Amino acid sequence: MTNVLTRVAEAIKADFMEVNSGRSKNDPVQTLNRYLRECEMEVDKVEKILDRQKILKKEFTKELEEAASMAAKREEQIKIAEEAGEGELAKAALRELTYYQGRKERLQVSVHETTNQLHRLEEMHTNMKHKLKDMYIKRLEVMGRENIAQASQKAEHLFTNDSDQTEEELRFKKIENYLRQLETGEKAKEEQSIDQQIAQLQQRMKEETGRSQELT
């Protein structure tokens, strides 16, 4: 099961390398979503197996407790039969005791193996959930980069003269041009005002020079 996530992670890296190099036209977010769905299915499968293993361990444990109880019961019954001088009954109880002891030993092995398998499945399931969570975070990171890329592309498109601009983009450019005209007009007025002030200053200086010459 863990190999599935490893293969998925490698495939994701390969797709992102293609996207970054411009060789792939696939949407990286859609690609990642597809891989995430596959990983979620694998995690669900392991979770179901884990649940079945828990039930199996519970059943084995129940059977073990029952076999141990019956073995203890037959052992006590053998003592009672022997004390009462019931040899045949004691032999029958002994045969039952042997049977239940054998069953108990087999069930002890089964419970031990099932417990070990359960621990491995729990560890596998935990690791898969951690990797899946990492992929969720990776998707958020990719979505963030995609948003920046789309916004940059949108902004670049707005400031070009492409004939295929949308109505929204044309409206944006129209407003931008209007603001630029206002800014240009204000600057022209400012420059004109400076020219007028300089001209008036020169005129006053000329008049003052003329009056000074008349006085002399």
Q: Are residues 92 and 187 in the same domain?
A: no
Q: Are residues 78 and 139 in the same domain?
A: yes
8 A C-beta contact, residue 135 and residue 32: yes
Q: Are residues 20 and 74 in the same domain?
A: yes
Boundary (domain end) residue, out of 129, 158, 187: 158
Q: Are residues 151 and 178 in the same domain?
A: no
**Paired tokens of 101:** 């002891």
Boundary (domain end) residue, out of 158, 183, 204: 158
Cβ-in-10-Å burial (0-12, 13-18, 19+) of 12 comes to buried
Q: Are residues 102 and 183 in the same domain?
A: no
pLDDT at 24 over 50: no
Report pLDDT digits (tens) over 63-102: 999 999 999 999 999 999 999 999 999 999 999 999 999 9
* Radius of gyration (C-alpha) of the chain in whole angstroms: 44
Q: What whole-number percentage of the chain has pLDDT above 70? A: 64
Specify the DSSP class assigned to residue 163. T
Report pLDDT digits (tens) over 142-176: 888 878 877 776 666 655 555 555 665 666 666 66
Q: Are residues 106 and 77 in the same domain?
A: yes
Q: Are residues 204 and 122 in the same domain?
A: no
How does residue 119 score in pLDDT terms, banded at 50, 70 and 90? Answer: very high
How does residue 7 score in pLDDT terms, banded at 50, 70 and 90? Answer: low
pLDDT at 47 over 90: yes
Q: Are residues 135 and 178 in the same domain?
A: no
Boundary (domain end) residue, out of 158, 190, 207: 158
What are the residues whose beta carbons fall under 8 Å from the beta carbon of 143, sequence distance 6 or more?
29
- Give the domain range for residue 145: 2-158
pLDDT at 120: 94
Q: Are residues 132 and 175 in the same domain?
A: no
pLDDT at 19: 47
The count of structural domains within the chain is: 2
Q: Are residues 180 and 93 in the same domain?
A: no
Q: Are residues 28 and 101 in the same domain?
A: yes
Specify the DSSP class assigned to residue 26. S
pLDDT at 32 over 70: yes
The stretch 116-140 carries a mean pLDDT of 90
CATH classification of the domain holding 123: 1.10.287
8 A C-beta contact, residue 143 and residue 36: no
Specify the DSSP class assigned to residue 46. H
- Alpha-carbon 166 to chain mean position: 35
Q: Are residues 187 and 154 in the same domain?
A: no
